[in-house]
Amino acid sequence: MTKHLLLGQTLQFHANPLHDDWQNACTVDSAGGVLIEAGRITAAGSGADLRTAHPDATVTDYGQNLITAGFVDAHMHYPQTAMIASWGKQLIDWLNTYTFPEESRFGDKAYADMIAGRTMDLALAHGTTTLTSFCTIHPTSVDAYFEAAATRNMAVVGGKTCMDRNAPDTLRDTAQSAYDDSKALLEKWHGRGRATYAITPRFSPTSTPDQLNALGSLWSEHPDCLMQTHLSEQHDEIAWVKSLFPTARDYLDTYESHGLLGARGLYGHAIHLEPREIDRLADVGAALVHCPTSNTFIGSGLFDTFGLAARHIRTGLATDTGGGSSFSMLRTMAAAYEIGQLRGTALHPSQLMWLATEGSAQALHMSGQIGHLGAGAMADIIVLDLASTPAIAQRNARATDIWDALFPTIMMGDDRAIADVWVAGKPTA
């Protein structure tokens, strides 16, 4: 069996640094190694020890570059790739002006294939080895997404976005077709290769109670699937939900009362939560997904990372392309840091890296499989150049420890900082 040994600085997590002392939650080895066999990591530790124990391994020495788990983007919209960074709208106007016209194009399989492939390649170029995406109402968009991932052997989560009201005719389905299409697609894709299906109501305003009930029933029939949606992103949105569901206790109740609240649920944004909503999310073990570049770009608000972590609510990190303004998880970490600062709680570099890897994997119920630099995980690995630009290099030269060296790359890095990417044990370049 072919063995490959990667040498360099390595970053491994043993606990959640948002819950535990970050100094004890992770280990950085300045002369570490990662052994890959048959697409998986079989060992990670001292580079010298691994080299002695496996003299037959092919060696790639990355010097002072940092070897870490590949980034895991826990919430994005691949159909919005072509319209990323569209100017000047808040959520509802932004959907009507930019998102819905673009998503209407995805009934064309050739167009869906092109954008899906482009999205995967952009993600990999930025060090993201796992995507979690909303598709469109068109089954062709789902097929295009999973097919593009399969050709690259990427672990991905995705599903048909369901909407039967408050959307253009070209993007509306029905309660029955949402159920039927989603069932057929999950039976086709869920668990096939590295694909995971997520039942996907866009959000309560674009689904009637009948459709939410139908999707809740489907989830109860297939509880091993994930369910993804949006929650409490903007104040105007919350007021809209209240007008559409006047008897609901709060926004979360519009999902809960239709069978769409559970441990395998992913709730994007979740900025303006009520106390009852936080209690229920904690009770059921649901996951929230922090989308910081989107939240600032569209003017949504400030996610409470530390407050929700104190309730032990699982939290992932995401670009939310194309409401998010970057494909880079480095830029996403920088925005999470900035939002933390505005809330008076600065996140340490270890906490930011956790959110972008292990935290997102945990949200997706894939702990130990992806986003993890340890034995048994798939060898989805990235290598960070901590001096990738002149500005970063001159700051890095003054670093006093690994965190001081890494933080400039988090704050100023982009795809130039990605020195190498491995997916399932094979380099992508």
Residue with tokens 């600065």: 346
The answer to whether 130 and 119 are in contact (CB under 8 A) is no
pLDDT at 96: 80
Q: Tokens in use for 371?
A: 């986003």
The answer to whether 70 and 128 are in contact (CB under 8 A) is yes
Partners of residue 11 on adjacent β-strands: 28
pLDDT at 46: 98
Q: Tokens in use for 153?
A: 């052997």
Q: Give per-residue pLDDT as tens, 190-201.
A: 999 999 999 999
Which ranges of 58-208 would DSSP assign to H, the alpha helix?
Answer: 91-94, 100-103, 109-125, 139-152, 175-189
Residue with tokens 């408050």: 166
The answer to whether 305 and 348 are in contact (CB under 8 A) is no
* Average pLDDT, rounded, for the chain: 96
- Rounded CA gap, 82 and 86, in Å? 10
Per-residue confidence at 99, pLDDT binned at 50, 70, 90? Answer: confident
pLDDT at 365: 98
- Mean pLDDT in residue range 147-168: 97
- Mean pLDDT in residue range 181-192: 98
The answer to whether 158 and 185 are in contact (CB under 8 A) is no
- Rounded CA gap, 156 and 95, in Å? 24
pLDDT at 92: 73
Partners of residue 13 on adjacent β-strands: 26
- Rounded CA gap, 363 and 311, in Å? 15
pLDDT at 90: 72
- Mean pLDDT in residue range 332-342: 98
- Rounded CA gap, 264 and 260, in Å? 10
The answer to whether 106 and 170 are in contact (CB under 8 A) is no
Give per-residue burial for 222-251: e unless 16+ CB within 10 Å, then b. Answer: beebbbbbbbbbbeebbebbeebbeebebb
Q: Give per-residue pLDDT as tens, 115-138.
A: 999 999 999 999 999 999 999 999
The crossing angle, in degrees rounded to 10, of helices 329-342 and 402-412 is 100
Backbone angles phi, psi at 92, to 5 degrees: -70, -45
Would you say residue 168 has pLDDT above 80? yes
Is the pTM value of this prediction over 0.75? yes
What domains are defined for the chain?
A: 3-70+371-427 (2.30.40.10), 71-363 (3.20.20.140)
